[in-house]
Structure 1
Amino acid sequence: MKEIMKVKCKVSDQYYGYFDGEKYFDEDNRCSGELDADGTFTYQYFNSVLSPSGPQKGKLEGKTLHIFDREFELIEESIEE
């Protein structure tokens, strides 16, 4: 079983998703991403017409995931898979 952490945006409560330490996804399947070996975070966003944005780079610093030009804080609410 892998622990999945809920990720909540520090800027706004309406943006959130889930992160298992390597992969990120949101409830609407509009964005997914994966932690690379060098510590950068590659993610892809699908807009309302489901066209991919192309891979974008973010980063994980401690308990903060930097994606979409926002900071997402890994909160302690966990879900087990």
Structure 2
Amino acid sequence: MPRLDVREIPPVNRHPTIHDAFAELDPGEELTIVNDHEPKPLFYEFQAEVEAFDADGYSVERVADEKFVATFPKRAD
């Protein structure tokens, strides 16, 4: 499962980088991102704009004060 730590990426470049990585996934795969905040805006952006995003399979876990691990699944169909 691809994993992308975006904490060192400048904020302005994070969403485009994540979108590019997600686009490279095969159907049924998941992209795991590590972020310094809960990626709620990104979730809503994906939900609204990315047809292949499986919002029902999305998950996020806070593992430290500034470390959130989120899984963005791509639809299998």
The normalised TM-score by structure 1 is 0.31
The normalised TM-score by structure 2 is 0.32
Whose strand fraction is larger, Structure 1's or Structure 2's? 1
Whose helix fraction is larger, Structure 1's or Structure 2's? 2
